[in-house]
Amino acid sequence: MADMQDGKFVHDATTAPRSDRVLPLFSLKGKTAIVSGATSGIGLAVAQALAEAGANVAIWYNKRKDEAEQSAADIEMEYGVRCRAYQVDVSSYPAVEAAIDHIARELNGRLDVFVANSGVAWTKGPMLDGPIDMYSDVVKTNVDGTYFCARAAGLHFRRQKKEGTTLDGKPLDPPFTTGSFIATASMSGHIVNVPQLQAAYNASKAAVIHLCKSLAVEWVGFARANSISPGYIKTSISEFCDEETKRIWKDKIPVGREGEPNELKGAYLYLASDASSYTTGADITELQVDNAIRAIQQKKPLPEIDFTIHTMEDGTQVSTLERVCKDVQAPAMYKPSDEQFFEDETRQKPNVQFLKQHFYREGRLTEEQALWIIKKGTELLRAEPNLLEMDAPITVCGDVHGQYYDLMKLFEVGGDPAETRYLFLGDYVDRGYFSIECVLYLWALKIHYPKTLWLLRGNHECRHLTDYFTFKLECKHKYSEAVYEACMESFCCLPLAAIMNKQFLCIHGGLSPELHTLDDLRNIDRFREPPTQGLMCDILWADPLEDFGQEKTTDYFLHNHVRGCSYFFSYPAACHFLEKNNLLSIIRAHEAQDAGYRMYRKTRTTGFPSVMTIFSAPNYLDVYNNKAAVLKYENNVMNIRQFNCTPHPYWLPNFMDVFTWSLPFVGEKITDMLIAILSTCSEEELREDSSATSPGPVSPSLPSASSASGQDPDSIEFKRRAIKNKILAIGRLSRVFQVLREESERVTELKTVSGGRLPAGTLMLGAEGIKNAISSFEDARKVDLQNERLPPSSEEVQKQHDEERAQALERAAREAEQDKKLQTLSRRLST
């Protein structure tokens, strides 16, 4: 019943939307809508409009299942909402009621909008000549179907307004204001069509219009009911009409054509949204739409805007002075006090729980605090032997490579360091952009748990690689060169290998021709930079052969052409070493693995994998798409735990700020604008000038008086030449900015496969080749292979970079000199 007392409507039974701005009123974000007859035509256009406004949409169809399901899939992909297709017979009330209940439960437990668009056309001419069965079909779909849909939807609207909950009893979010029922009627409900005779259809659409007007009274307080009466719209429902009939239609239409379904989207969205909160019982006809458009075009000036308030798409207002994304933690903008940094008053151990969260929010320490962790950790590392020995249980971890957020995931998978013994195999830094956080946190854990957490050295823990890749740059950007130097000293103190449970040799790289017994490891002088050859180099750089276990050679060791140093070692070399030293297997890191680990061929004597590789940096460089793994060994049982990457904050390459990165873009646009201002003539004029001034053949001659006068700064010739040279200089500058702009544009694409540094040849070759090549783990590995080599010296890198930049700038200048438009422009402005 309507909210009435003594035949009068109850005052203030509804409330107006709170927003005084128009666009937020059209948002349907978080709401659920159903559109019947939505396989194509008007129904499909309406479903698209409601989805674009943010609603989850159910589209109903009768027969064309494949087409309807494809339409639903297209809507989901296009608008990012949920959309499903359902086959429903609208002439059956039980089917309609069951379908609405099912959809409301599946789509957020609610119903906000129902568009009754199903309809059947009359195609049999005069009433007296048409079959009764046709009349029944028209009325069952157009009248009964609309009535059934209205009743079933209205029950949901009324319950939601009364209870304010979903079907599961949860509070409605966004809150339910009023439901909206929209029926597709027709201009035929207002007029008699000539020459297209369709009495049954006209009567059915008139009934739909009056049904909605009646429901508007009955549903006051919980829902609005409106209808839309389109004119002649180009849909399948009118395909039976001949061209002569359509020509007569166009004679009666002011714009002289049939309408398109998309042209009705605005009317349906208006009635579906809170923008029509004061519209109920209305029938929108073409005339009303014209009036609405005219009113919008003649609207009053916008009110003064408060720029400290921003209205989101869903109508929510937020302050521009506060953080909007409150679910994403703001970066830590402060450096901790010593009270926060140390665990207790003794100041012997850092507060690792605080550091974990502080680094997770991109927080930094004071330089003194960072140096304290590094130097305290260095003291512990220096006191340890080259070859560590530890018992099970233990968790072995591979490369981390500056992926701090994945390191936190590693500890979730592997266990709390307070309760779990850990052995890390090196490569804590470079390639990732959070290397110093990894070092500081791991060193802090080492200070806390010196007897249960061990750190080995990897090939990246050295001055040469950290200078070539990102770690040195990161230390200088986030802290200072003093922190970097302290790290270098600490890296030289890292142990080189470990014997786990007296069964497994744990190293970063691999075997060496100079490694015969474990004593060879104990006798290495590790307190130095790794050499480029010899035993210390090999245990950091060596790899198993790619065809390990199926070698076609009898050699134990082959030159490692991939790394540019050290060796590949073979299956026989591994078996010989294991048997000689009474060991079970070699556990190493050093190589990215698609699954995070790799088990190599088993030994003949023990049946255990001779070599195992563990890699603990998931989605390495943000392009490998690999999983990471840790190895847990306990009770003589070895388990591999895999994990995926964790989202992390983004850094521009080389820790650039956005202003530095964008300057080439700005410079290119400014020079383009300057050239455009100077180009005051048309293309035709330029062509005329070019032909008029094209020089003919010139024969050698002696210097003339005119050429001599060209050297006089006060002469006209000298001034003309100066203007011409300035124009050409602007052109060269424009080309230079273009080169720099392309570099900035592509460096973000290249940084992940080049360790964060702009790779050699970028200015000359660009990024397209690499961008198009990366589509799988193997592709990424092949593209990145050059960065797995021992890098050239910094002097060689700088020399190559300078040469390539000089070539690129020379090419830019040459292109400017050859630009016909610039040449013509310089001639015109210097005459």
Question: Which amino acids are annotated catalytic?
Answer: 460
- Pairwise CA distance, residues 101 & 92, whole Å: 15
CA–CA distance from 754 to each of 617, 751, 757, 793, 828 (Å)? 16, 5, 6, 16, 47
Take residue 80 and report the two structure tokens written for it: 């990012």
Instruction: Report residue 688 CA to chain centroid gap.
Output: 51
- Pairwise CA distance, residues 330 & 354, whole Å: 16
Give backbone dihedrals phi and psi of 184, rounded to 5 degrees, phi first.
-85, 110
Query: Residue 451 half-sphere exposure, CB side, CA atoms within 13 Å?
Result: 0
- Pairwise CA distance, residues 432 & 361, whole Å: 16
- Pairwise CA distance, residues 178 & 113, whole Å: 9
- 3-state class (DSSP) for residue 180: strand
Take residue 609 and report the two structure tokens written for it: 């994998």
- Pairwise CA distance, residues 114 & 100, whole Å: 10
Judge contact between 627 and 642, C-beta under 8 A. yes
Between β-strands 4-5 and 8-9, what pairing exists: parallel, antiparallel or unpaired?
antiparallel
Judge contact between 176 and 109, C-beta under 8 A. no
Tally of CB atoms within 10 A around 460: 27
- 3-state class (DSSP) for residue 101: helix
Residue found by looking up tokens 């020399």 in the block = 799
Among 428, 413, 439, 453, which residue's Cα sits nearest to residue 355? Answer: 439
Tally of CB atoms within 10 A around 483: 22
Take residue 311 and report the two structure tokens written for it: 């209205």
Residue found by looking up tokens 């009535």 in the block = 147
- Pairwise CA distance, residues 442 & 128, whole Å: 91
Take residue 740 and report the two structure tokens written for it: 């720099």
- Pairwise CA distance, residues 378 & 724, whole Å: 64
Take residue 53 and report the two structure tokens written for it: 């406004």
Greatest extent of the chain over all pairs of C-alpha atoms, in Å: 115
Judge contact between 643 and 615, C-beta under 8 A. no
Between β-strands 283-284 and 223-228, what pairing exists: parallel, antiparallel or unpaired?
parallel
Report cis status (omega within 30 of 0) of the bond before 393.
yes
Judge contact between 821 and 686, C-beta under 8 A. yes
